[in-house]
Amino acid sequence: MPECQLIRPRPANTRPIRVRQVKLREQRVRVSAADGEIEAIVIEPVGRRPTQGVLYYTDIFQLTESTLRTARRLASAGFLVCLPEIYPRELPGMALEFDDAGKQAGLAAAAHTTTAQFDSDCAAVLDYLQQRGDVDRIDAVGFCLGGHLAFRAAFDPRVASTVCFYPTGLHNGALGSDQADSLARAAGINGRLMIIFGSEDPHVPADARLQIIAALYAAGLQHVELHVYSGGEHAFMRDIGPRHDPMLTDLSLTEAISFLNGR
């Protein structure tokens, strides 16, 4: 016979577990930029004023539901999260599929975007966040190519803290249609910086990670954290496909939220 487990009632003097409930509000906005508009999604908690705004850079697939799920988890920690499209000129209003066609479309859009255009768009979104009446501080996060964009956002003195999740192209300058000077400008980062990698990321292997961290310390940065998660593949936080690692995703978000909150 199968064993039966006796479930004892909870003692009357045991305190109930309290779960903090958070409801979120989402809206699409259009951010004025130097040569047009950038469509963005803003996610924020309902019922309390978030004082920290987070510029959230997506991966090459833009505003997918997978990305929005992660952004909602970040917003539920009390941040106002703003996700701009990273290709407003090439792929306005488009969320790409996680397949070969979507990948090629995202890479092609990057190849048609200059570093100066990426930087100009960043300044426009930071202007938008700065002009809001409910944001007192701005941070940045980004994933994959968006992690590289978040790194460049950290050059702006308005960005207090930055978290780059498995950023691509930092070690070799690959970003858009031209060579990016991101590592060479690392000394211009005044805020705090965290970079998260998976150990099995073919886009940023061990020698590339070593090059990145060496350049950051050579630049004199004092507030840098590097996290390398054993077994993590590239895009291990994307909750679609075989690369996804739920435990590493939870760990990464916990560390990132703690870091953005100043520890």
pLDDT band, very low/low/confident/very high, at 93 (cuts 50, 70, 90): very high
Strand locations in 99-169, DSSP E?
A: 137-143, 159-165
Instruction: Check whether 10 has a pLDDT greater than 70.
Output: no
pLDDT the model gives residue 4: 45
pLDDT at 12: 54
What does the alpha-carbon distance between residue 208 and residue 223 come to, in Å, rounded to a whole number? 20
Q: pLDDT at residue 17 above 70?
A: no
Q: What whole-number distance in Å separates Cα of residue 72 and Cα of residue 81?
A: 8
Average per-residue pLDDT for the chain: 93
Dump pLDDT digits (tens) for 213-250.
999 999 999 899 999 999 999 999 999 999 999 999 99
pLDDT band at 6 (very low <50, low <70, confident <90, very high): very low
pLDDT, average across residues 61-86: 98
26-70 pLDDT tens trace: 999 999 999 999 999 999 999 877 689 999 999 999 999 999 999
User: pTM higher than 0.95 for the full model?
Assistant: no
Which domains are delineated in the chain? 24-260 (3.40.50.1820)
Return phi, psi of residue 52, to 5°.
-105, 120
pLDDT of 156 > 70? The answer is yes
Query: Helix or strand or coil: residue 57?
Result: strand
pLDDT above 70 covers a percentage of the chain that reads 92
Confidence of residue 21 (pLDDT cuts 50, 70, 90): confident
Determine the average pLDDT of the residues in 180-203: 97
Per DSSP, helices labelled H in 22-87 are 65-75
Question: Would you please indicate which residues are annotated as catalytic (active-site) residues?
Answer: 144, 201, 234
CB atoms within 10 A of CB 165: 27
CB 117 within 8 Å of CB 89: yes
Mean pLDDT score, 81-101: 98
The fraction of the chain above a pLDDT of 90, given in percent, is 89
Does the pLDDT of residue 8 top 50, yes or no?
Answer: no
User: By 3-state DSSP, what share of the chain in percent is helix, strand and coil, each rounded to 5?
Assistant: 30, 25, 45
